[in-house]
Chain A
């Protein structure tokens, strides 16, 4: 089999799918078109395995481009990310098919294009190809998310489009600068350019790249598009957007930052990145806590996870700056491992959320509840996702977050004590984010699946077909698998990232536990075995006392019958933390006296609005200013021909006099 077979298969199948989606108008054609993208995902997975076994694969296409020949390249690092991403793709494709979310020709077409652009961006080696794929990704994802084409969807989508395009402009400028200054158009040919372009320029380039790609990751202040888009678009699109797109961004960021530019001696830069990432993560977890819409919670959770990943990357840059190669490599490994895990559980959660929305016909937390009885299977799968995203053992989120914490604990190599302080601060931030975000996820799960239904839709959810749950199962399995048996992946990752930071082969696995520099290890398998063992012990003890019958009665109600209103609402659940962090949220609370139902009862209406400071104090003034300025300029088109002729004359005379 020729080396080009798999990649070309991977890239051509989605095209075929797109064509099918356009040509065959029938319902069945969608099946084929989604199968195409699933098949291409499988091809991608096989290719990445092949790369992992046989080493980097690189292909140069003879298709003429404006700027050198297009080239694609898959190194082990990319292969690892691509592998997981491809598996996720397959599941999402299945989901789109079974959930009947993507049965229109339009969505099938866009899905295939989206998949194609993501795969292309992930393996692109040629700068131009990367830019094209990256922007095509934003475009297709926007079009896919722009389902109902109501005006609100348009505004949400437009924000996304405009902001990511601004980011893309930064990325394009940075990459173009690298390309012209190095004379190379292939990322793999660029090596340690910081020596060539000087520290100042390289710092600028890296910052531009962080901001640029950050616009897709929801880095402050580019995050404002995320919640609206997530809540308005089908979970098929968001599942890909929040996982695959983020993977591309982080992957390219790592490659360019560490390999192409090389960040020796960049203390300030690393600290800046860490600070920005930390703020992002904090803000995201705070916001995730108070959202009413599950999709918005998940949007902010993506933002939070990306913030943590970038924070760890920043730490890696800091270690690199102080010449501590091995801690840097470990930090990088941790970040990428979390990226991979995030792919899995976030896709699982988003698709689960979509399923809930379809089953209950509701996605306002205030109107959900008690779904666990109606949809036990879904509740179990969703619980797995929730536990993983909340980083609880024995699931995958836990392992990678543990690794990130450990990575931040290597303060020794940093000489400057003041810079050292950055690490404990980072740990504090990360811990705070984790705790608050865990609360948010708990709120999401508990108020969706547990308690008493808060609306008719939640009372009697539409029973799910087995096929609707099927795409989620592989991801749930992956959550557990990556949690308990991640050694091969970790070793590959360590081997892949070590050269990026100039570390000799990093050793992360000791015996049965992940252990780095003998500073306390974790044995995920053992830990989960222990948990199982503990539960077994408990179970045995209980069994020893013989079986007892279970009696079902009403919830204890102190004598006043409970209804769907007399339980904690999501808003109420978040209230204590809201009070604690009042300075952050500045909620606008309005309590209005309503007409009394009877003279014994006071009726009060409570409304709470959480303002969006970034929109109100950054974006709105900016746009208003721009429009005002434009209005001033607009006066020049006054309609008077005499004025127009005056412009010509003045221009002429001024130029003649000035340049004579």
Chain B
């Protein structure tokens, strides 16, 4: 692993860290426009983070030592994920862990966040945690199956190799398997990042909230870290989606030109994905909690179909 690779990886990580709040901002802005509102500035997330970082921490009396460790773990896991996943360069970064491993890193994040929700023993925390676990219980198989289908096509689960494979294959690499899998992963993206129709990040209404409920006891810099971590998680999902299924334009070498193209392409894809998320959020309503499993099952079935279609067709 040469110096350039290290530099590229660092660049990727910092890129992700920089961009993630922006994406959330963009989604908010896009939604506002579609609802003919002015909406907050796309930089609002940065401002929130900055404000939170400077505030003092108010913690529950019931909270234990774990409460203060969790934010670091979550943010750390996300940074680790940013390293594992190739962002704009399908370089050597994949060596650390393959696509299956990324699922587990996401799992670590979720596990810790849910434990945090249980700290303090507030009813909201418990509610958010239990609902989150219900969603994830079905999302995880979906993700793994989609990965399996992709791995079956490309013959590997190493992310950068997958990107290389599809990038080299170009548009003729598109197969029904791929579409089904990507659809499944898109739904899981909405579910995992607690967007409408699974969750409404905008409200603190207890009937609807999942993600906010878990963060309710956090404040100050801990809250900032958790929020940041969830921003990064959204970004990484988008990155995985785009780089695995439509990796065109990703830099295969380390030439400056390639890298620029890569950055541009990934930014474009991220923008598109955020807008599409915004579209989904504004055309759909939040679902009732116990109708969520149906949607999740749909995504699970999609991923299963993806695998089957590969073997049968």
Contacts and interface: CB of A to CB of B under 8 A. Distances in A.
B235 to A, nearest CB: 15
B144 A405 contact: yes
B6 to A, nearest CB: 12
Contacts of A553: 58-61
B87 to A, nearest CB: 15
Contact of B115 (A406, A445, A533): A445
A509 to B, nearest CB: 13
A576 B131 contact: yes
A538 interface: yes
Interface of A is mostly: helix
Contacts of A587: none
B121 A452 contact: yes
A420 B64 contact: no
A568 B59 contact: no
Interface residues of B, number: 88
A393 B108 contact: yes
B62 A527 contact: no
A390 B140 CA distance: 13
A548 to B, nearest CB: 5
A358 B72 CA distance: 32
Contacts of B111: 387, 390, 392, 438, 442
Given A372-B64, A542-B221, A580 B129 contact: no
B76 to A, nearest CB: 3
B117 to A, nearest CB: 8
B207 interface: no
Contacts of A431: 140-141, 143-145
Interface stretch (A127-135, A163-171, A515-523): A515-523
B201 to A, nearest CB: 19
Contacts of A452: 62, 121
A554 interface: yes
Contacts of B312: 417
A432 B293 contact: no
A600 interface: no
Nearest to A449: B64
Contact of A421 (B130, B137, B308): B308
B304 interface: yes
A411 B220 contact: no
A459 B7 CA distance: 52
B185 interface: no
A538 B56 contact: no
Interface residues of A, number: 86
Interface string A373-385: 1001001100100
Interface string A231-270: 0000000000000000000000000000000000000000
A369 B300 CA distance: 35
Contacts of A660: none
A435 B62 contact: no
Nearest to B307: A424
A398 B59 CA distance: 32
A555 B58 contact: no
B101 A393 contact: yes
Interface of B: 53-62, 64-66, 68, 71-73, 75-80, 83-84, 94-101, 104-105, 107-108, 111, 114-115, 118-127, 129-131, 133-134, 136-141, 143-145, 148-149, 151-152, 155-159, 161, 216-217, 220-221, 225, 289-290, 293, 300, 304, 307-308, 311-312
24 contacts: A376-B64, A393-B101, A409-B151, A409-B157, A424-B304, A439-B133, A451-B119, A519-B155, A533-B76, A533-B79, A535-B73, A537-B76, A542-B72, A549-B56, A550-B58, A555-B61, A562-B123, A567-B126, A568-B125, A568-B130, A575-B130, A576-B290, A577-B133, A580-B134
